[in-house]
Amino acid sequence: MVAQAQRRVGLVLARASRVFGEEPYYHEFLEGLERVLTPAGVSVLVKVVTDRDAECETYERWAAGAQVDGVVLVDLSPEDDRVALVHRLGLPAVVLGAPSTASGLPTVWTDDAGFAREAVRLLAEGGHEVIGHISGPMSFAHTQLRREGAEAEAAARGLRLLQAEGDYSYESGRAQTGGLLTGGATAFVCDNDLMALAVLDELRERGVKVPQDVSVVAWDDSTLCQLAVPALSAMSHDVGRIGELAARALLDALAGAEPTVYQAPTAHFVARESTR
């Protein structure tokens, strides 16, 4: 009897390899994926590329050589052309993001706007009136949703929301901190844990005390938050569980199931030493 070839799914990340190496989110996400896919006889192929063109070329090459059976799409923009591409290539795919970006593909959805509102609300209740938000790239739909949620909550409470765009790297977190401080921010919300760590380090070098002078909130709540000094408060997401849901959605897609929306677990605020 001939053994059946193992199936394989792909994940392409268009970002600097050093950022992928430092950022805990996708490591936890991959662990969740593999917890479900490995027992099902499906392996995961991860490729880090420099830009969107290289990412699309990877899908073309994978499809032409039948190298993967399906893919996970991440960091989508509104009306993202990668969705049409995988449809054209006949690649089963799952979108990690808002259903509005998916155009008929299954999605694993996180309420980015709602959780951003929650972060701003909690900081407002802590007495902060000027809040700095260091986002990820604004081309991403989930970044836009977080920005919209933060803006809506700030407007509803009569707060000032100062905005700065990062790229999830430590360096971008440090680079954006000074401008927000100059603008009067007494609290920071960062779109990933690595940028929040960078804010802590920049504030320390400037002699700004956390949380006595400034509060800092991270996003995701990896172990980096617990190891930071002071320990970082965070909007805590069960990233491993999100990976498991994406894996189940992929298995359903590979089996030809109708596309559906898989709701990610609700995030919750974990208060630690970085907020007053």
Structure confidence at residue 272 (pLDDT): 98
Residue 1: pLDDT band (50, 70, 90) is: very low
Structure confidence at residue 15 (pLDDT): 76
CATH topology of domain 112-236: Rossmann fold (3.40.50)
Check: CATH 3.40.50.2300 for 7-110+238-265? yes
Which tens digit of pLDDT belongs to each residue from 5-20? Answer: 689 999 999 876 556 6
- Which residue is listed with tokens 């899908």? 59
Distance (Å, whole) CA 148 – CA 205: 31
Distance (Å, whole) CA 226 – CA 89: 43
- Which residue is listed with tokens 């604004």? 138
| pTM greater than 0.85 (yes/no) | yes
Contact 242, 32 (CB under 8 A): yes
Mean pLDDT score, 54-73: 97
E strand intervals along 18-68: 42-49
Which tens digit of pLDDT belongs to each residue from 202-254? Answer: 999 999 999 999 999 999 999 999 999 999 999 999 999 999 999 999 999 99
Instruction: Please list the residue range(s) of the chain that carry CATH number 3.40.50.2300.
Output: 7-110+238-265, 112-236
pLDDT of 69 over the 90 cut: yes
274 closest CA partner among 180, 182, 206, 198 = 198
